[in-house]
Each structure stands twice: as structure tokens, then as C-alpha cells.
Chain A
């Protein structure tokens, strides 16, 4: 069933790539239509799972990835519709397709552990997933910024110059995405700390609760991300690190987020292996 969404995301990716190279308006509309269809199919899947298990499917690494892909698709569609700018799709879609293969090929089993029954669990996971989706957008916008920046700087006004919005627009879109992501990251982390403190009371025997500390790679790397984005938000521009350097920072930040989200979740963490 999840294969349908994967196929739709892949189709949308092909259409966005085609639209980007040929700049055919009809293909562009097809791309958006396919992505909307993919997002709707995905909404249906997540809705079904929610009905089945009683909460949004986020209690396993795989279903969290699926929900993340869904949130990212919706966030991207929001950006596209509000800015009327389709050029970014070709950069976002590969990530959606790549990540969506995981839930499509190995469906996760929702963890029913006692520790996950608390009310803060949903807030913690969903705000972090939303933060990650914002950072993914910021990263892609940052990459396009760098591509355009290099063309203008090198005086070779070509492929990206003709297709991307202005540097100023990309920079402010990037900034906005980072602000939103940072707010949700902060909320998600604070809720996580509070929730851990509570869980030590009601689910102490769970070894994962005992492993909730800064020594755990997942928590440590999340803190590193938070510091990188805080730096970008509050210090970078003051010391002249705007524009291209800010774009590089958002790419670096998201690379770490992705590392934390996929390999660390699956293989290294002992506190977050649900």
C-alpha cells in the first residue's frame, strides 16, 4: 500500500525535474498535481494507521520517517503555493523519494511500550519531526542559494540564473525556515527533557529511559544540531556570515539532522530505539 505513495512521489520527482530543465508550465502543473496526489495518498495511509493504533504513527523509527516525509511534502507544498515558485521541487523531491523507500520497503511495528503512553510523547515527536521538515526545506533552499550565488559571482549566468528566484528571496526563505525549525526543535527538546524526568517516575525499569542522557548519541547529536542552528540564527549574521555561509550552515545542520534521524536511530542509540 505504501508503494503507491512511493510511486507517486517518484512520478512527481520526474515531473519536477522535467519542469526544471524544460520550463514547461503544463509539466509544472502536472508535477504539483502528482505531489498533491502523493500527499493525499500518504495522508490516507497515516489516517488509517492513526485509526488503527489510536495515535499518529510515530512510535517506531520507520513510521516516524514516514510521518516526516508526509510533513515535509506538506510543508513544501505550502511554500510552493505561497511563493508560486516551483523551482525548489526538484531539490526536495529526491529527499522525499529516498526517505519514503524506507517505510515503503520495511513497514515498522509500532512500539506499545509504557513509556510511550504519556501525553508528552506526541508533542515531543511531532514538534521534532516538524522541525526536521523545516530544516530540510532550509537545506534545499540553501543549496539553491549557493548554486545561484556561484553563477552570479563567476559571471556565468546560465542554468540556475534563469530558473531560480533572487538571492534575496532565497535568503529570506531560508531564514524563515530556520526560525520555524529552531522554534520547534527547542520546544521538542524541552518537552523531551520534561517527559524524561516524568518517565523516570512511571517507567523507570525501561532500559531506554535509563539511557536518556547526554551520553546517548541521539540526544548528543540533537544538541549539536540545536547549537548549530542557534549559531546560524543569532550569531552568524552579526559577524557577517549571511548569504552563502548561512546557506552552507543550513546544509551542514540538516546533514547532521539526517544522520541523527536515520543511521543513529536504527543502529546506535540505546535510548531512542523504539
Chain B
């Protein structure tokens, strides 16, 4: 069994290709059903986000499946093959694990360390489970990748720190006020930037948003757009400044509208209640000296951008640690995956032993025939147990081998020693479904009566 990945992502395809290769348009479940119907894969899963569309498959014939999957991508999405083909990348076997682990860890994301991707990968796997296209191999692969994602989140700083201005402002507000629930925000100016930041704050639990604009009608319109916000006139400025915790200033004024002296006057009745001022206007709305006032935290656009840059740099410095975790987990997965290479030999060996047992029972039939039925059943049971016990250790040992070369040596030796390749066994080991493996007694679960 092999692993195969065919996909496009923000690294290989421009957005106009990515938006056309979107499995969500017709539904991932539908896509999985269609893919399963083509019969080129044993197991399949589809990870589809706005930045990537990837098909993960377990198959027997890599070349054939590769062709079929590429064809499927263009056919299912109705995009001509020549338009997709140049952007498609493919990876096989253990490297598939490395790729998926990096994706789940956020290492392959547009914004390194973004947290949504792990959830999207989880959704992809549950869709595959629901469509019954996930089998033992993808099961193991995806569960390993969840573990990688979790480890990278808890053991490295890859996902820490805000990487957009809106998030940076919210993160700062939380660091000053703790919980934002019950806090109130004042937006000065009815422009788009102020509105967006206010909406962002509101989604974080801010209780009340007030909009002040030179034109009351503009303020009222913005307040309505935000929802649950109120508008106030320019004359209410001092009262509003006194009552709020966070000020977002984003007017188009040519000179500062809030001076240090003005804010000092507002701060006096507030005593020691902190005031967080986010000045996202260019030119600035708030006199820089206002930041010197005790309990006033003043951040302008450049300051926020600087923290975003710092966070991105910090994330970049964590990449190495995250990659180390990925490598470690890939090794574990690889050992498991390669040990599956021994499974056909295990099956053949067991079938060989069973065939011999049956043949011998048949040969001795004339001697066993006079025995009472329960004694015959006993003979059958005892011979079966002997075969099981003889095979227990070899089976365990074969399954524990983690490297392909050793497996090849063992397979060769066993095939010769027990003539496993010969057709005289009147069975068809190679044609057996791999699923049969699961019905074999596992080490430890073998009945030992």
C-alpha cells in the first residue's frame, strides 16, 4: 500500500486557480463519494481551504492513482486539465506524512502558525470518516497530524502573537484590561478603519461602542453598521472619553484633535483607570506626548505594525523547533507505515500454515472418522492452537520491523523457506484484501485458552 498526495496551494497556484479548485462548492462529501466510485484509491480524504485543495489517498498503484487523481481534480471542478496541471504538486509515501504534519502545524500556511488550519484538517478527516473513505492508513496519518498540531501549539511559540493590526489592538487591550467583557470603546471618526476595528473589539466581548463624528448623521450610520453601537455628537467628546476604556481614533483631520492637555483633563476624574488609545489615523489624531501621561497607553498605526512585525519575526524563529517536532513525528509514522510492508508476507505465511494443517487433517481423515464428534472437534482445536502459537512470535517480529530493507530480507527468506510464492497453496495471497489483516489475531489478543 502507498500513500499519495495531489494538491494545489497558495505556494503553487494563483488565487484565480485556487478559487476554481474548491471542493466546498459541490461539497467534500460528494467529492469523496465520486472519488471512491472511480476505484483507483483504497482510502481518500480531501483537505480544502481557501489556500489549498489537497487529495490524500492510500493506493496500490501510485502511477495509476496519480493520473486518476489529477484527472479527477479537473473533472470534478470543471477546470480544464491544462489549466490545473502546471500548479499541481504530488508527494508519495512517508513524505505525504511530512507534508500533512507541516500543514497541520501551520508551517505551510500563508501566515505561518495560523491556528484555523488544524480545525480545517480535522473537518477534512471527519468528512472522510463520514463518507467511509478513511481506512487504517489515513486514520493513523490524520491522528498523527492532530498530535503534531497540538504539540507544535503547546511546545513552540509558532502560533503566538497577533499578526494583523486588528488582532494586535485586541491583544493589547486584553493585556491591559484582562477580559474585554463589560468594557466600552469610543470610536472617533466614522471611517472604515475605525468601524472595522470596533467590530473586531465587539466580537471579543466589548459591551458598548460609541461613535463620535463631526457629522452626527455619519456617526449614526456607522453605529448602525456596527450593530448595538450608539452615536454621539462632537460636543459629547469629554464625557465619552471619561466613560470609555479604549479609544479608536481614525478621523481624516489634518492636525491632532486630542492634545496632551486635553487628555490630562479627562484623566483627572478617571483617577487611575487606564485609557488605551489606538490612533490609526494618518496624519495622527492624538498628540504623541499624550502617551507620557500615567495610565495612558497610546499606540499609533506604526506601533501596531511594529508589534505585528515583531510577532512575525518571533514566529519565524520558532519554525525550526516546529520542524523538529514534525521530523520526530514523521519518523514514528514512517516506522509504522513501513512495518505494514511485512503484512502480505504475514498473510501468506499464515495461509501456508493453515493449508498444511487442513491438508494433514484431511489426510488423516480415515483415522479420525471413528472418533466421536467432540473428540474430532478437540483435534481440530488443538491443531489450530499449535499453528497459532507457532506463528505468534514470527508475526509479532515481522510487524515490528520498521525499515524497508530488513523487511525485504525477511520476506525473501520466508518466501524461500516456506515456498510462499508457489501456487500449490491453493489460495491467493496477493489477491487478498488488505482489510483481512485486521481480522488476524493481534499480538496480545490471541486466544490462549
Does the CB pair B178–A237 fall under 8 Å? no
Interface residues of B in 155-186 (CB under 8 A from A): 155, 157, 160-161, 172, 174-179
Does the CB pair B161–A242 fall under 8 Å? no
Interface residues of A in 145-191 (CB under 8 A from B): 148, 152-153, 155, 157-158, 161-162, 165-169
Does the CB pair A25–B154 fall under 8 Å? yes
Q: Mark B270-307, 1 if CB is under 8 A from A, else 0.
A: 01111000000000000000010011010100010011
Which of chain B's residues has its CB closest to A156's CB? Answer: B310
Does the CB pair B297–A153 fall under 8 Å? yes
Chain A residues with Cβ below 8 Å from B307 are 155, 157
What's the Cα separation between A88 and B10 when bound, in Å?
A: 43
Residue from the list A158, A165, A242 in contact with B295, Cβ < 8 A: A242
Report, as a range, how many residues of chain B touch the other chain. 20 to 34
- Would A152 and B272 be within 8 Å (CB), given that A24-B155, A162-B160 are in contact? no
Does the CB pair B157–A23 fall under 8 Å? yes
What's the Cα separation between A240 and B273 when bound, in Å?
A: 8
- Would A243 and B175 be within 8 Å (CB), given that A23-B157, A155-B307, A162-B160 are in contact? no
Residue B268 is within 8 A (CB to CB) of chain A in the complex: yes
Number of A-B contacts (CB under 8 A): 63
What's the Cα separation between A153 and B274 when bound, in Å?
A: 11
Residue from the list A155, A161, A167 in contact with B274, Cβ < 8 A: A167
Residue from the list B161, B176, B291, B303 in contact with A166, Cβ < 8 A: B176
Does the CB pair B172–A152 fall under 8 Å? yes
Does the CB pair A161–B294 fall under 8 Å? no
Does the CB pair A240–B271 fall under 8 Å? yes
Does the CB pair A148–B272 fall under 8 Å? no
What's the Cα separation between A238 and B175 when bound, in Å?
A: 24
Report, as a range, how many residues of chain A touch the other chain. 20 to 34
Which of chain B's residues has its CB closest to A239's CB? Answer: B271
Which of chain A's residues has its CB closest to B162's CB? Answer: A157
Residue from the list A24, A165, A238, A244 in contact with B294, Cβ < 8 A: A244
Residue A204 is within 8 A (CB to CB) of chain B in the complex: no
Residue A241 is within 8 A (CB to CB) of chain B in the complex: yes
Chain B residues with Cβ below 8 Å from A167 are 175-178, 274
Which of chain A's residues has its CB closest to B173's CB? Answer: A166
What's the Cα separation between A157 and B313 when bound, in Å?
A: 13
Residue from the list B161, B176, B272, B297 in contact with A241, Cβ < 8 A: B272
Does the CB pair B174–A166 fall under 8 Å? yes
Chain B residues with Cβ below 8 Å from A161 are 175
Q: Which of B177, B268, B272 has the most CB of A within 10 A?
A: B272
What's the Cα separation between A55 and B267 when bound, in Å?
A: 53
Chain B residues with Cβ below 8 Å from A24 are 155
Residue from the list A25, A168, A237, A240 in contact with B176, Cβ < 8 A: A168
Chain B residues with Cβ below 8 Å from A158 are 310
Does the CB pair B299–A155 fall under 8 Å? yes
What 9 pairs between A and B have smallest CB-CB spacing?
Answer: A242-B272, A168-B178, A166-B178, A240-B271, A169-B178, A155-B303, A168-B177, A243-B272, A166-B175
B positions within 8 Å CB-CB of A: 154-155, 157, 160-161, 172, 174-179, 267-268, 271-274, 291, 294-295, 297, 299, 303, 306-307, 310
A positions within 8 Å CB-CB of B: 23-25, 148, 152-153, 155, 157-158, 161-162, 165-169, 237-246
Q: A240-B294, A243-B295 are in contact. List 8 more A-B contacts (CB 8 A).
A: A25-B154, A157-B310, A161-B175, A237-B272, A238-B271, A240-B295, A243-B274, A245-B294
27 sample A-B contacts, Cβ–Cβ < 8 Å, listed by A number: A23-B157, A24-B155, A148-B175, A152-B172, A152-B175, A152-B176, A152-B297, A153-B291, A153-B297, A158-B310, A161-B175, A165-B178, A166-B174, A167-B176, A167-B177, A168-B178, A169-B178, A237-B271, A237-B272, A240-B268, A240-B272, A241-B272, A242-B295, A243-B272, A243-B274, A244-B294, A245-B294
